[in-house]
Amino acid sequence: MRKFVLRYLIPRIIQYLTLIFVGITLTYIIPRLAPTNPVEAQVSMMIARGSSLDPDAIEAMRAALTELYGLSGSPVEQYFAFWSRLFRGDLGPSLGNFPTPVSEMIGQALPYTLRLLIPALIISWIFGNFFGALSSYYPENKALNVVEVLGQVVRSIPYYIVAIVLLVVFSYFIPIFPFSGAYPIGTRPDWSSLDFILTYLEHSVLPAATLILVGFGGWFVGMKSLTSNIISEDYVVYAEIVGLKKRNILVQYIMRTAMLPQLTALAMSLGTVFSGALIMEVVFGYPGVGSLAIRAVYSNDYSMIMGITIYSIIGVATAVFLIDLLYPLFDPRVRYQ
């Protein structure tokens, strides 16, 4: 146990914390390289709206906004003040929805994205890997060949095209599912109501199907490529010669070995799926983090953009860290080392 902690756990904890530190630091630096000044932009916006302010009031407002947005002091002082607020969970106010805190707005939108992304990612990962391994081990099966062709086709199509096609087909031509939102306009969310939950699930079908279809193609192709190489390994050939059942060979010898890189890819894919979900949420009008990010970009709300980026960095890094901790359960070589 001590050997595991010293040689495996502690290095990965250090790597995890370093990744978060570097990622957040870059997130802090990059927006400040932009030529626009958020304080001046806010002041100009108020003046453009016809607000009559005397010069002293404008200066007072400029000073207040500079302090509020954490832009007072030297760059070093701003950096340490940023980390101090971050440790308190304070990401500052949203510039586009002033004075609502960024953390509050992300806290409202994030559950919708997670309830959509995590089940869709897991479903596509399970079915993509399963059918990819079957297609590689049974290359003559015509049904699996059809699935492979469909997977290859869907994999090459961008998220937003799949989303638009599903929306047009199943919301307009065949009006089975709702075309927008997570629930009907004017509905008050009530998670204790079964009717509301069923309505929410109905609105989530098309957005989830978009992520599952595109994700399935990627996992299918990746798993088939991995298992195609493993099938020719000596230990697999020997298992077939001694007469083991094909099902046992596929599960215990081929899929178990091929699953190791797929587990790492599962954690890493959270970032890719998030970028796809951003466009998908806009297409379906889904009230998640993706829609929030698009509005922040349009309104030059760099506080919101930084907050969303920080959450995604921590989420992806945490997922990779947890997968690393689970690796010894799947790979005996890690336990041995």
d(CA 76, CA 303): 18
For residue range 229-251, list pLDDT tens digits in order: 788 777 777 777 877 787 888 87
Q: Which residues of the chain does CATH 1.10.3720.10 include?
A: 102-336
Q: Which residue blocks in the chain are alpha helix, DSSP H? A: 2-4, 10-32, 38-48, 55-68, 75-87, 102-137, 142-155, 159-168, 194-230, 234-241, 246-248, 256-284, 289-298, 302-330, 332-336
Q: Computed over its alpha carbons, how large is the radius of gyration of the chain?
A: 25
For residue range 123-167, list pLDDT tens digits in order: 988 898 888 888 887 887 888 888 888 877 877 777 778 888 888
**Mean pLDDT of the chain, nearest integer:** 77
Return the SS3 of 192: coil
Phi, psi values for residue 101, rounded to 5°: -65, 145
Distance set, CA 204 to CA 4, 254, 280, 292 (Å):
42, 35, 11, 17
d(CA 294, CA 301): 10
* Residue bearing the bigger pLDDT, 43 or 266: 266
- Give the pLDDT confidence score for residue 182 in this predicted structure: 76
Beta-carbon-side half-sphere exposure of residue 319 (alpha carbons within 13 Å): 16
Is the CATH number of domain 102-336 1.10.357.10? Answer: no
- Give the pLDDT confidence score for residue 316 in this predicted structure: 79
pTM: 0.75
Is residue 172 pLDDT above 80, yes or no? yes
* Cβ-contact 217, 160 below 8 angstroms: no
Using 50, 70 and 90 to split pLDDT, how confident is the model at 274? low
d(CA 332, CA 139): 30
Is residue 11 pLDDT above 70, yes or no? yes
Is residue 38 pLDDT above 70, yes or no? no
* Residue bearing the bigger pLDDT, 30 or 220: 220
